[in-house]
């Protein structure tokens, strides 16, 4: 076949391919356009979702930061009133610093409101879960253990086995012990101390378990637990405290 004929054949094939492509496009034009629109819509939705998540994360972190700032604010008691009969001071007492609170109780109450606002506004974000955990700890500090228990359980439900879920389990056991729910607290501490995933400070959990046994009126169990800390974790920061607990128990006649 001559070179010119081969060239002509290739041109015919190209023309035929272009024509066929145009026919296919005309036949399936609606499907192709609809598919393109769908892809654009999906890409837009994905982009919108990630933008929304970014906005939510930023807002939730801002609310958590505001609450933490209150929790760390200074406590400045008001100046004492002059004693009866004493002369009035020549100058009025200085005003308390901006952002300070007159009592620890007032600061805790203010922080609690902010923590719960962030937790309820953004319940599923990391910052929202952290805020709920801080709210539970604040309730426990205020002595509102029943409410603290409820908040800790919510954190565990939402956080699962993440760091907040694990620390919430410790907080829950502590709140249960403070509320007099010793059996529940002891069971929780025993379960946590048996974990071998490296996430829990076993010596610290055992220390809390021993103290809860003592609170529950079970001195023998408390002694065994403190002794376990001394035997298994002699270099632990809790070992010295455990030895003191053992000495105190023996001095009081506990077996």
**CATH of region 197-255:** 1.20.58
Residue 17 CA to residue 103 CA, distance in Å, equals 84
The pLDDT value recorded for residue 222 is 95
Q: What pTM does this model have?
A: 0.72
Residue 120 CA to residue 31 CA, distance in Å, equals 45
Alpha-carbon Rg for the chain in angstroms: 33
The pLDDT value recorded for residue 50 is 40
The pLDDT value recorded for residue 48 is 47
The pLDDT value recorded for residue 251 is 78
One-letter-per-residue 3-state SS of 26-50: HHCHHHHHHHHHHHHHHHHHHHHHH
pLDDT tens, per residue, the chain with 255 residues: 444 444 444 445 544 554 565 555 455 555 555 555 545 444 444 444 343 355 557 888 898 999 999 999 999 888 766 666 666 666 666 677 778 899 999 999 999 999 999 999 999 899 999 999 999 999 999 999 999 999 999 999 998 878 889 899 999 999 999 999 999 999 999 999 998 877 788 999 999 999 999 999 999 999 999 999 999 999 999 999 999 999 988 777 655
Residue 138 CA to residue 211 CA, distance in Å, equals 21
Ramachandran quadrant class, 106 (left: phi over 0; alpha: psi -120 to 50; beta: rest):
alpha
The pLDDT value recorded for residue 71 is 93
Q: Where are the domains of the chain?
A: 32-74+100-146, 197-255
Cα–Cα nearest to 153, from 176, 180, 183: 176
Q: What angle do CA 58, 64, 70 make, to 5 degrees?
A: 140
Residue 74 belongs to what H/E stretch? none
DSSP state of 2: -
Residue 135 CA to residue 138 CA, distance in Å, equals 5
The pLDDT value recorded for residue 47 is 47
The pLDDT value recorded for residue 6 is 47
Q: Is 98 helix (H, G, I), strand (E, B) or coil?
A: coil
Q: At what angle are helices 237-251 and 219-232 packed, to 10 degrees? A: 150
Are residues 103 and 77 in contact, defined by beta-carbon separation less than 8 angstroms? yes
- Beta bridge partners, 75, equal 101
Residue 199 CA to residue 197 CA, distance in Å, equals 6
Residue 186 CA to residue 189 CA, distance in Å, equals 5
Q: Is 241 helix (H, G, I), strand (E, B) or coil?
A: helix
| Sign of the alpha-carbon torsion through 80, 83, 85, 91 | negative
């Amino acid at each position: 076949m001559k070179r010119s004929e081969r060239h002509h054949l290739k041109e015919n094939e190209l023309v035929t391919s272009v024509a066929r492509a145009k026919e296919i496009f005309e036949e399936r034009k609606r499907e192709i356009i609809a598919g393109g629109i769908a892809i654009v819509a999906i890409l837009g939705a994905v982009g919108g979702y990630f933008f929304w998540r970014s906005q939510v994360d930023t807002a939730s972190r801002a609310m958590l930061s505001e609450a933490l700032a209150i929790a760390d604010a200074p406590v400045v008691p008001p100046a004492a009133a002059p004693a009866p009969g004493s002369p009035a001071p020549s100058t009025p007492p200085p005003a308390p610093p901006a952002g300070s609170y007159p009592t620890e109780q007032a600061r805790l109450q203010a922080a609690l409101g902010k923590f719960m606002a962030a937790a309820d506004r953004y319940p599923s974000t990391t910052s929202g879960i952290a805020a709920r955990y801080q709210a539970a700890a604040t309730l426990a500090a205020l002595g509102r253990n029943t409410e603290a228990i409820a908040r800790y359980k919510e954190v565990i439900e939402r956080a699962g086995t993440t760091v907040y879920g694990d620390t919430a389990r410790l907080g829950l056991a502590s709140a249960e012990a403070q509320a007099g729910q010793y059996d529940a607290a002891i069971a929780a501490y025993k379960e946590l101390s048996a974990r071998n995933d490296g996430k829990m400070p076993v010596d610290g959990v055992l220390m809390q378990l021993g103290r809860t046994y003592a609170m529950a009126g079970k001195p023998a169990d408390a002694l065994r637990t403190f002794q376990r800390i001394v035997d298994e974790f002699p270099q632990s920061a809790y070992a010295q405290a455990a030895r003191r607990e053992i000495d105190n128990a023996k001095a009081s006649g506990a077996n």
